[in-house]
Amino acid sequence: MICLTLIWSLFAFIFFCLAVYHFVQSKKRHPLLEIHVEEPPSASFFNATAVANKERVNKFIEEFNRYINGYNVNTHAANMAAGWGYTASTIVSIISLFIELKGLP
């Protein structure tokens, strides 16, 4: 009986640690890309105007930042789901631990 009590205690501890880990991870966000585009002194850069190059770089930055925002949203949701799942597992382990303790003489 004591063996099962130790096992449920270990499960509760592991699940609790995993829940805390995923809740902490859900708060982390990857930073957005920040590039400051300066127009070169010459009027042309690789057979394109400086204005066209600036537009291309700005379009890339916007699309890349949209990707990073989507990644941040997805990882936040995944870590929150895992955190709540491990929290539920912790609660079930603790309840099982109490049931096991209640059965001890």
Segments in the chain below pLDDT 50: none
Nearest by Cα to 61 from 86, 31, 32: 32
- The whole-model pTM stands at 0.70
* Per-domain residue ranges of the chain: 2-37+49-102
Cβ atoms of 93 and 12 closer than 8 Å: yes
- Quick one: pLDDT at residue 41? 58
> What are the C-alpha distances in Å from 99 to residues 1, 32, 105?
11, 49, 12
Q: How far apart are CA 80 and CA 28, in angstroms?
A: 12
Please give the pLDDT value at position 58.
Answer: 87
